[in-house]
Amino acid sequence: MITILFDGVAYGMLLFVLAVGLAVTLGLMNFINLAHGAFAMAGGYLTVYLMQRAGVPFGVCLLLAFVLVGVLGALLEVTLYRPMYAKPPLDQVLFSIGLVFMAVAAVDYFLGTSQQNLQLPGWLSGRTVVGHGPLQLGMGHYRLFIIVLCGLLTLALQLILGRTRFGSRLRAAVDDPRVASGLGINVNVIFLLTFAAGSGLAGLGGALATEIVGIDPTFPLRYMVYFLIVVAVGGTASITGPLAAALLLGIADVAGKYFIPTLGAFIVYLLMILILLWRPEGLFVRKGGG
């Protein structure tokens, strides 16, 4: 019982790290980036190949997944994404679907269609069981690791956005790019850094997710909906909204698959539509401002 909750929280945390970059691009730059999952896929493949081919330790792989995918995101931002910010949503949707399709086919071509799995290092495999009976909690070490790591990341993000100079500049640039640039804030650089960090987090999330969901070329399309749900339901005004939405989604998904396996993802989609009907702007909307 509690084990399911625990797994759900771990899954939700993972979804949050995967999707938080999308929340940033969507909420901040108003850009509908359906290609976000492609960055996660890049992180996942990078980790698999670094670990299996080059024997790089897992921790270093995670760091590299973050950094390299972040750099990739920065490159794409400068070359492709920046001119798209001012375009209408339809163009953004078409553009990013095009990117996803290209990424899927390219990975398929170079790396093959088979699903890649990850061999975890010894200190992360294994499982601790606490308590007994209905209150028994079985914690996979890897899931515990994910919860701790993602929890720390969330705290760090919250601090960066809320307490640092960069955070306040970012918020200013989002609220009104014109006034912000009038005040001497270089909006382009702020957006570039934010986009890169968001892509990096997606890469990290992809690296972490490889062990749990496995990674194959269709990953960006399969998980696109989940990322979008997190952002659409959580709203884009803060990072606590997407966090809550991701946890809700993670728990609902794990519990749904456990208790009513025949319905599968059905519950998740239904829940999303109902929530969006009830509150079209997402569950957690900042009143005023924006």
Cα-to-chain-centroid distance, residue 186: 26
Tell the burial category of 100 from Cβ atoms under 10 Å away from its Cβ (0-12, 13-18, 19+). Answer: buried
Alpha helix stretches (DSSP H) within the chain? 2-29, 36-53, 58-76, 89-111, 141-163, 165-175, 177-182, 187-213, 219-234, 240-259, 266-278
Among 32, 61, 153, 196, binds other proteins (CB under 8 A): 32
Among 229, 243, 245, 249, binds other proteins (CB under 8 A): 229
Select from 7-15, 87-95, 148-156, 177-185 the region that touches other proteins (CB under 8 A). Answer: 87-95
Neighbouring-strand partners of residue 139: 128
Among 87, 127, 163, 286, binds other proteins (CB under 8 A): 87
Q: Does 85 engage in binding with other proteins (CB under 8 A)?
A: no
CB of 8 to other proteins, least distance (A): 20
Q: Does 111 engage in binding with other proteins (CB under 8 A)?
A: no
Q: Does 68 engage in binding with other proteins (CB under 8 A)?
A: no
Q: Does 18 engage in binding with other proteins (CB under 8 A)?
A: no
Query: How many positions of this chain bind other proteins (CB under 8 A)?
Result: 43
Q: Which residue, among 65, 112, 86, has the nearest Cα to 216 in the 3D structure?
A: 112
**CA dist list (Å): 154 to 179, 183, 289:** 29, 29, 24
Q: Does 266 engage in binding with other proteins (CB under 8 A)?
A: yes
Question: Residues interacting with other proteins, by CB under 8 A?
Answer: 26, 32, 80, 83-84, 87, 89-91, 93-95, 97-106, 108-109, 221, 225, 228-229, 231-232, 262-266, 269-270, 272-273, 276-277, 280-281
